[in-house]
Amino acid sequence: MLDLTARELSAKILHGEITSVEATEGVFERIERIEPTVGAYISTFKDYALSRAADVDRRVAAGEQVGALAGVPVAVKDNMCMSTGATTCASKILENFRSPYDAHVVERLEAADAVIVGKTNMDEFAMGSSTENSGLKQTVNPWDATRVPGGSSGGSAAAVAARLCFGALGSDTGGSVRQPAGFCGVVGLKPTYGRVSRFGLVAYGSSLDQIGPLTFDVADAALMLNVIAGHDERDSTSVSNEIAAPCDYLEKLDEPLSGLKIAIVPEFNAGADSEVQNAVAAALEVYKGLGAELIEIRMPHFEYAIAAYYVIATAEASSNLARYDGVHYGHRTAAPADYVEVYSKSRAEGFGDEVKRRIMLGTYALSSGYYDAYYLRALKVRNLIRQDFTKAFEKADCIMMPVSPTTAFKVGEKTADPLQMYLADIYTIATNLSGVPGISVPCGQDSSGLPIGLQIMTPAFTEEKLLRIGRMFEKHTDHHTKKPDI
Amino acid sequence: MAKKIDESQVRQVAKLSRLDLTDDEVARFSIELSAIVEYIEKLNELDVDSVEPLAHCLPIGNVFRADEIRPSLDTEAALSNAPQRHDEYFKVPKILDDNSGA
């Protein structure tokens, strides 16, 4: 049963072949067995999940209308507010925070009758690329417990890869859905900025953050996007239906695109490890075999994306994280000498090192005398990066490149040097700066058996096309069916 | 070579960020932030004089709605996570001295 995709499971539940309670109990049995090794979840809620599952089963049996994810056990990254359980952002400062409301995506999942089994681990406040910055626990890669699952949505990726749920939500600010999906051998979709409401997503870099699904295959990603996409007036950057209405992403999913033009940037592919290069080259051959044409392009400003990102994202973070003041919610220092110490000691005690670094970097970039040199310049470079994408999409339907330059690295390998950790996101960050959607699709394994991801990007609000392009590959390969031996 | 962000600058930025740092942290963050800022200065290689800044990747504008009273988070829910409260208020240490004349 745990080998089924979310789509297959939901069909079986609808036809009465499996109950949601059976599926949910199966997931919790596996969680009890495997989770001590993987560490994907910060919290699980078995009683809540089973009562929701029983309710779905009752309605299915009574022939009532049920939602698109009826009875399917799923997980949610712990930076999305949920009125059940705690919402911690993997931070000590929010360790005991209980959200009084549900995030838009949580409402949508529950309205679609999904069964949320728990909240997944992450880098604290989504700041990191390995989930090692979690202030609460360690998650390992289900393919090799000595390696990281990627980050920041490492818990969601590991939970899906280890079959501890049938799909999960993550958030992607600079690659935080796609990179862990690539490291863990699952599909990870970052929709266009504005496609999914951020209401109730704890903010990191507000002009970059976007929620997306991590799933067993592209079809499941389409299914979950169907549930979470669409306008929400509580997020003023959520795109209106007049500008770009979502569609049924499953409807034409299995129709391949003919005459597909794929842009590739030869020097990017050459910049990855040789085994990653080979797997991506083989994936491109599959597309060529399906009639696609490869077009070599240049994206001259792409190499500046990490530098621009670490100014823009940290500037936004320094402002967003000012709300953790020890007054309204979250940790407060035990014995402040004065009012200022309520802030400065609570924050010093509650935040981990990476969060402190990014708050200070952003504060520095915005401070008097440095604003023009760093922040304004980074915004201009952001424009140049977006122009690279615009020009690429004039010539091609999509761009393909690796998700990451390497496969999953060792736990502890990059923690001593923050800059080296940042450079691991070289292929994913530009997408967030320009807003376009991107997907990570499994495309092979290295000689140690670690998964490799192919990244595909398309123009803004063309997720339908993006998913169809990914699906074409999946139907002609079996990489997405490989499972870790855990 | 002088560090990009020396320890006094770290202390200043930490103060603006409302983060109490130990001396060890100041020394370490000075090294780490200097390396990051040095990398960021890669942005100076580009001529951006004639480029418009892009704060937001999509064309968005202000969103207005009618100024009508709607249900909002109730007081108990809003206070439910308060580290300290007093009746319907968030409680904090005294902000002004008794003789501050304010």
Subunit contact A307:B40, Cβ cutoff 8 A: yes
Each residue's pLDDT tens digit, B58-85: 777 788 889 999 999 999 999 999 999 9
A321, A365, A367, A426 from A318: Cα distances, Å: 6, 10, 11, 22
Q: Does the CB of B102 have a partner CB in chain A at under 8 Å?
A: no
Nearest to A330 by CA among A313, A343, A314: A343
| CATH architecture classification, A6-258 | Alpha-Beta Complex (3.90)
Tens digit of each residue's pLDDT, chain A (486 residues): 889 999 999 999 999 999 999 999 999 999 999 999 999 999 999 999 999 999 999 999 999 999 999 999 999 999 999 999 999 999 999 999 999 999 999 999 999 999 999 999 999 999 999 999 999 999 999 999 999 999 999 999 999 999 999 999 999 999 999 999 999 999 999 999 999 999 999 999 999 999 999 999 999 999 999 999 999 999 999 999 988 999 999 999 999 999 999 999 999 988 999 999 999 999 999 999 999 999 999 999 999 999 999 999 999 999 999 999 999 999 999 999 999 999 999 999 999 999 999 999 999 999 988 999 999 999 999 999 999 999 999 999 999 999 999 999 999 999 999 989 999 899 999 999 999 999 999 999 999 999 999 999 999 999 999 999 999 999 999 999 999 998
Contacts of B80 in chain A (CB under 8 A): 98, 100
Q: Is A77 a catalytic residue?
A: yes
Contacts of A233 in chain B (CB under 8 A): 63, 65
H/E stretch holding B28 reads helix B23-40
What's the CA gap between A317 and A421, in Å, rounded? 18
User: Which tokens belong to A184?
Assistant: 């863990």
User: Which tokens belong to A178?
Assistant: 């796609």
- Has residue B92 got a pLDDT over 70? yes
Q: Does the CB of B88 have a partner CB in chain A at under 8 Å?
A: no
Q: Does the CB of B101 have a partner CB in chain A at under 8 Å?
A: no
Q: Does the CB of A190 have a partner CB in chain B at under 8 Å?
A: no
**pTM here?**
0.97
Q: What does the angle CA A360 – CA A373 – CA A424 come to, to the nearest 5 degrees?
A: 60
> Which of B17, B83, B93 faces A360 most closely, judged by CB atoms?
B17
**Of the residues A91, A129, A176, A197, which is catalytic?**
A176
B3, B12, B92 from A145: Cα distances, Å: 38, 41, 45
Candidates A97, A235, A364, partner chain B, best to mutate (most B CBs within 10 A): A364
Each residue's pLDDT tens digit, B15-38: 999 999 999 999 999 999 999 999
State CA A224 to chain mean position distance.
13
Subunit contact A342:B29, Cβ cutoff 8 A: no
Subunit contact B18:A435, Cβ cutoff 8 A: no
ipTM above 0.85, yes or no: yes
Subunit contact B13:A364, Cβ cutoff 8 A: yes
Q: How far is A89 from chain B (nearest CA, A)?
A: 15
Domains along the sequence of chain B with CATH: 7-44 (1.10.20)
In chain A, which residue's Cα lies nearest the Cα of B32?
A: A418
User: Which tokens belong to A382?
Assistant: 């952001």
Phi, psi of A212 (to 5 degrees): -150, 165
Subunit contact B81:A98, Cβ cutoff 8 A: yes
Contacts of A310 in chain B (CB under 8 A): 36, 39-40
In chain A, which residue's Cα lies nearest the Cα of B40?
A: A307
What's the CA gap between A221 and A470, in Å, rounded? 10
Supply the pLDDT for residue B61: 76
H/E stretch holding A387 reads helix A377-395
> Which of B36, B52, B90 faces A383 most closely, judged by CB atoms?
B52
What's the CA gap between A272 and A21, in Å, rounded? 44
In the 8-state DSSP scheme, what is residue B41? G
Convert A436-462 to b/e letters by CB count within 10 Å (16 or more is b): bbbbbbbbbbbeeebbbbbbbbbbbbb
Beta-bridged to residue A212, according to DSSP, are A170
Q: Is A83 a catalytic residue?
A: no
**Of the residues A12, A77, A119, A345, which is catalytic?**
A77
